[in-house]
Amino acid sequence: MSIEIEAVAAPEGSYCAKHPATPGIFVCSRCGDYACHHCTAIANREAYCQGCANQPLELPETWPARLRFLYLSIDGRIDRRTWWLMFYLPTTLLYATVVVLEYFATTRGDHAIEVAENLGLIVVAWPSFAACTKRLHDRNQSAWWLLLTLVPLIGSFWFLINLGFLRGDAAPNDYGPPLAAPGGAGPHHT
């Protein structure tokens, strides 16, 4: 599979930050250093210098940035813990609430809940897709794998095992470095 690259090219006449005699090819998208062809790692269509490619990625500090990363962008990786806490548990809870509300609404002949439910589905569709894509990336799988969920029974089984239980790559993969443990150093793998 060919990966489209959005990396920024190093200016002409620049040299690698690690190898002063070798011309720079790309600008590292994390630290801004120039990296030569030995040092450049391409992940997530971006270029990283060797040091940054091997460094676990922190979740953004502020909540707005963190929510944007988790639910709007489909780049990068999240670990199992983040997937459970930020996607699977909230959506399961939401779904359970809807089922209960729907039960009471239909016994009263009220159909407003159906409208609300459909609106809710539209609202959570993209954030769910984004969170699950990131978890697939953690296992070096592309978002296309989500099509498997269309297969009855096997699809949902695969979904939960693959995204909820199987460990992500400890090393950087095609989608970048792993997510750092909250507040600690090193990739987080429970």
Number of other residues whose CB lies within 10 A of the CB of residue 166: 11
CB of 5 to Zn ion, least distance (A): 16
CB of 50 to Zn ion, least distance (A): 7
CB of 75 to Zn ion, least distance (A): 17
Q: Which residues bind Zn ion (CB under 5 A)?
A: 16, 18-19, 28, 30-31, 33, 36, 38-39, 49, 52
CA distances to 64, 132, 163 from 88, in Å: 20, 9, 10
Q: Which is nearer to Zn ion, 8 or 161 (CB)?
A: 8
Q: Which is nearer to Zn ion, 35 or 131 (CB)?
A: 35
Q: Which is nearer to Zn ion, 34 or 159 (CB)?
A: 34
DSSP code, position 167: P
Instruction: Report the chain's C-alpha Rg in angstroms.
Output: 21
CB of 12 to Zn ion, least distance (A): 17
Q: Which is nearer to Zn ion, 19 or 81 (CB)?
A: 19
CA distances to 66, 101, 154, 182 from 62, in Å: 6, 34, 38, 14
